[in-house]
Amino acid sequence: MAAETKAPASGPAPASAAAIDEPAWVRRLLIAVGLVFIGLFLVLPLVAVFVEALSNGIGAYLAALRPPDALAAIRLTLLVAAIAVPCNLIFGVVAAWAIAKFEFTGRSLLITFIDLPFSVSPVISGLVYVLLFGAHGWFGPWLVANNVQIIFAVPGIVLATIFVTFPFVARELIPLMQEQGTEEEEAALSLGANGWQTFWRVTLPNIKWGLLYGVLLSNARAMGEFGAVSVVSGHIRGLTNTMPLHVEILYNEYNFVGAFAVASLLALLALVTLVLKSLLEWRFGHELAASRH
Amino acid sequence: MNIEIKDIQKRFGDFVALHRINLAIRQGELLALLGPSGSGKTTLLRIIAGLEQPTSGAILFGGDDLVGQSLRERKIGFVFQHYALFRHMTVFENVAFGLRVKRRRERPGEAEIGKRVRRLLDLVQLGPFGGRYPSQLSGGQRQRVALARALAIGPRVLMLDEPFGALDAKVRKELRRWLRGLHDEMGLTSVFVTHDQEEALELADRVVIMNGGRIEQIGSPESVYEQPASAFAYEFLGNVNRFECTISNGEAVFPGGTISVSEDVVHNGGEAIAYVRPHDIEVFSGPAIAALPATVRYISAAGPLAKVEVAAADDRLIEIELARPVLRALALKVGSLVHIRARKARVFRRDTEPSPGEALSMRGEGRYPEQATPPAPMWHI
Amino acid sequence: MFARFLPRRAPSVLPGFGPALGFALAYLSIIVLMPLAALVLRPAELGFSGFIAVVTQPRVLAALRLSFGASLIATSVNAVFGLIVAWVLVRYNFPGKRIVDALVDLPFALPTAVAGVALTALYAPNGWIGRILHPLGIEVAFTPIGVVVALVFIGLPFVVRTVQPVLQDLDREVEEAAASLGASRWQTIVRVILPAILPALLTGFALALARGVGEYGSVIFIAGNMPLVSEIAPLLIVIKLEQYDYAGAAAVGVAMLSISFVMLLVLNLLQRWHRGR
């Protein structure tokens, strides 16, 4: 063996030890496989949405967003999110306070229950409300007699949306608040703060980025939910159609430009969500819960 | 197995972690690489073991150059600082790992593996623990599993990175003694890295003192302790009092006294530092020739040697160690006025003084070659 | 008075436990527990034999088989490629890595209906990908393969995001130890790295599987929804609801949940067995 040793490849030396690195060709192959997979399954569909939406030009695109039905769908989607997200925000904070700051029996069971909506098919999430409030549901006859409509109306859509976005905020906050412990709150109380002051001045500032993170994810889901809402909505154009449902209707009518135009708005929402989420993770990663998803 | 390290250099980008290191490791010896963190000792160990590639230089094992050879061919037993045990395997499987991953031709049969692993577990006194998982063991036990695992491959050399770093003081002492015994029994060439001078001095046959990516001194524990080759080595090996002084006309002058020195290497008018070990200071209750007046500030008499702290006229604190009978004879109390004199001291030029906080690699180039230079002249205060 | 009805808890000086827990339980009961109870109780009106009769209809069986089978295949694909993606994101540097990392979450953020129409547009015989596959005789859209494609899209982030942090925390010293003991890189990967990330991989697998079984929005566009061939179980629920067959819909729902539960239980036991070993 030559006494003169080969110098490592020029460029920045990797911090890792040379002894346990894969050969360069393996590395390149794996990166290529990963990127092709992501490109094929994630990037291409995203690109397709915008390409299809603009396939007849920007004029046709904008025109497709102007019909009253489309505008009504956008309004309804915003309205539903504006109700569902704050409801779950309040629940998430309250539940996390009880679960993370106190020790009590049945705590882990409670956490399991909070996670339940994640493991249920969206269609079932809608179905359960039909079973309760539909014409043939448990409370159906009473609701009909009192002229209250929940299913095939906005309240049903809101309920289904609350169900599917139920765990997001709580799930983000519980591990975060557990990690932070109770010392700071105890210090505040010992300094004479009352419960509300302690919450507003100590707890909330500590969890604000985690809270925002949970709200972000739950908002994306609330605006984009399809299966659950589809079951309870009744698809009444202009009245109970959210944006994702409107995409379906237009698509089934072969109005592809219209469908993809509305879809592109939702895709933009997804992109904005991803950007904000990444920003939060990069900037405030240490102030978010250790466990993701 | 003789190991010769020739001109090994290691850079990470612009940072030079090792400057042309030359070192010969002798067959069967237990060698310590001693230095503060960032001195390059671990990098050197990892390069010898093949966990990292040097930027340039050669490593000869009994004449063969190892650089570029795979870890598998090197057959070096490496014990990691945090043990790096495979946590999903039992102790038995951890030790057997190196045998199981051998090429089919060389792989021993299942019965042979079992026999060898059990022998090793007995050797490290973990015979009954083969079925346990690493998480069920104490730190000292994990360390011994790591050692048995490294020995299982029949290594040509054993290398240990801070082998006792993560253990508490008592276990550390026990393991140290036990490891020394094991080494003597097996006669395996061993190299270990440590930042603990006591550990290096107590355990090793030879000590390599490293600093700033260079070797400061190599020698037996006695020689490096008694005759540190540099100011750095002096400060690093044990407690020491520093006296800043200037040299003029063969005298070292510092606040509180003037000491005549027989000038040799220190230039006239040069800034210098005199180093005096705490046990090399004599204490007199009355005035004495060339002694410095001082006031006793603190006495701690717990332990075989009493620690006495005195303040010189300029309020500089000086640490002194006295045998307890001496302390009693002097009848020292806090506030007593005493005179002190160094029995032994060494003076180094000011610019060789180690300067913590500064980039160590900025220090003078090549002042201390591989082997320790003969000790610099001794200065008597 | 009220305190007596609260669960036993360790003493704490922090206020608000009673009201907070009370509110959380009430909200949870109204939004989640009561509706789910309605789901579980509804098929009771069919009787046990009626329930069995519903879930053993050929159309229902075919739909359940497709939902679970396609999800299993898609999740297996994701287990392999998701592992590669996670590995590449953790271990290697390449331009655009952060963007790729962020993109992995796209299926979480993109509404499923949008994914559905987009995938259909791509894989339809005249779509970008369909145009290449169609001449080769491979039909993706409007076949069970299309269902798998949609579920691969949906499931990918579950695998990547559960494996990634574990891979990140993996101690590189352990890999060096394996190498210094003479293991080849391949042996190190198979014997040391894979066992260490297996529990996380199983968790990701379970999450992706559960999600795939229930997935609706992204599938119905690309599936073609032919009874007995490419009709998924959630769609069958919708169809039964449109016929006002509430009990039948609930029965299919309960069947889905039961099978999911059993699968997750098995995975969970597998994981526990692995951890306890």
CB under 8 Å to C80, separation ≥6 — which residues?
A: none
**C-alpha distances in Å from residue A99, one per residue of A92, A119, A162, A196, B274:** 10, 21, 20, 18, 64
Tens digit of pLDDT for each residue in B273-328? 777 888 888 888 887 776 778 889 988 888 788 888 988 877 888 888 888 888 88
Which of B50, B84, B100 has the CB atom closest to C177's CB atom?
B84
Distance CA A62, CA C135 (A): 35
Cα angle B182-B185-B187, degrees, rounded to a multiple of 5? 100
Chain B residues with beta carbon closer than 8 angstroms to that of C182: 71-72, 75, 98, 101-102, 153
Paired tokens of A224: 């984009």
Which of C100, C109, C172 has the CB atom closest to A16's CB atom?
C172
Pick the residue from chain C with its C-alpha nearest to B84. C174
Stronger pLDDT, B258 or B84, i.e. the higher one: B84
pLDDT of the residue at B361: 27
Tens digit of pLDDT for each residue in C21-50? 999 999 999 999 999 999 999 888 888 999
DSSP string of C160-197, one letter each residue: HHHHHHHHHH--HHHHHHHHHTT--HHHHIIIIIHHHH
A152 and A129 Cβ atoms separated by less than 8 Å:
no
Q: Closest approach of chain A CAs to the CA of C277, in angstroms?
A: 24
Tell me whether residues A277 and C102 touch, CB distance under 8 A. Answer: yes
Cα angle B328-B332-B334, degrees, rounded to a multiple of 5? 140
Q: Under DSSP, is residue C9 helix (H, G, I), strand (E, B) or coil?
A: strand
Which of C178, C182, C195 has the CB atom closest to B88's CB atom?
C195
Which of C34, C92, C103 has the CB atom closest to A42's CB atom?
C103
pLDDT of the residue at C25: 94
Distance CA C126, CA C104 (A): 27
Distance CA C16, CA A96 (A): 12
pLDDT of the residue at A283: 87
Alpha carbons within 13 A on the beta-carbon side of B80: 19
Paired tokens of C196: 């260490």
Neighbours of C29 (CB within 10 A): 13
Cα angle B297-B302-B304, degrees, rounded to a multiple of 5? 110
Distance CA B138, CA A59 (A): 73
Chain B residues 31-70 within an 8 A CB cutoff of chain A: 46, 50-58, 64-65, 67-69
Whether the per-residue pLDDT at C64 is higher than 80: the answer is yes
Pick the residue from chain C with its C-alpha nearest to B73. C182
Which H or E run includes A197? helix A195-198
Of the candidates A58, B227, A292, the one whose C-alpha atom is nearest the C-alpha of residue C102 is A292
Question: With an 8 Å Cβ cutoff, is A9 touching chain B?
Answer: no
Tens digit of pLDDT for each residue in A69-92? 999 999 999 999 999 999 999 999
Share of chain C above pLDDT 90, in %: 67
pLDDT of the residue at C276: 59
Q: Closest approach of chain A CAs to the CA of B44, in angstroms?
A: 13
Tell me whether residues C181 and B98 touch, CB distance under 8 A. Answer: yes
Pick the residue from chain A with its C-alpha nearest to C85. A34
Whether the per-residue pLDDT at C269 is higher than 50: the answer is yes
Whether the per-residue pLDDT at B353 is higher than 60: the answer is no
Q: Closest approach of chain A CAs to the CA of B4, in angstroms?
A: 12
**Full-model pTM:** 0.81
Stronger pLDDT, B263 or C216, i.e. the higher one: C216
pLDDT of the residue at B235: 82
Whether the per-residue pLDDT at C5 is higher than 90: the answer is no
Residue with tokens 């409670």: A110
Q: Which chains touch C (3 or more CB pairs under 8 A)?
A: A, B
Three state DSSP letters for chain B: CCEEEEEEEEEECCEEEEEEEEEEECCCCEEEEECCCCCCHHHHHHHHHCCCCCCEEEEEECCEECCCCCHHHHCEEEECCCCCCCCCCCHHHHHHHHHHCCCCCCCCCHHHHHHHHHHHHHHCCCHHHCCCCHHHCCHHHHHHHHHHHHHHCCCCEEEEECCCCCCCHHHHHHHHHHHHHHHHHHCCEEEEEECCHHHHHHHCCEEEEEECCEEEEEECHHHHHHCCCCHHHHHHCCCCEEEEEEEECCEEEECCEEEECCCCCCCCCCEEEEEECHHHEEEECCCCCCCEEEEEEEEECCCCEEEEEEEECCCCEEEEEEEHHHHHHHCCCCCCEEEEEECCEEEEEHHHCCCCCCCHHHCCCCCCCCCCCCCCCCECC
Q: What is the mean pLDDT of each run of 10 residues along chain A (293 residues)?
A: 34 46 89 95 95 92 92 95 96 94 88 88 94 89 90 94 95 90 88 88 92 94 94 86 94 93 95 93 78 43
pLDDT of the residue at C7: 62
Interface test with chain C among B52, B80, B88, B147, by most C beta carbons within 10 Å = B88
A70 and A203 Cβ atoms separated by less than 8 Å:
no
Q: Which chains touch A (3 or more CB pairs under 8 A)?
A: B, C
**C-alpha distances in Å from residue A263, one per residue of A46, A70, A258, B59, B100:** 10, 11, 8, 64, 56
Tens digit of pLDDT for each residue in C240-268? 998 988 899 999 999 999 988 888 888 87
Question: In the structure, how many helices (H) and strands (E) does chain A have?
Answer: 15, 0
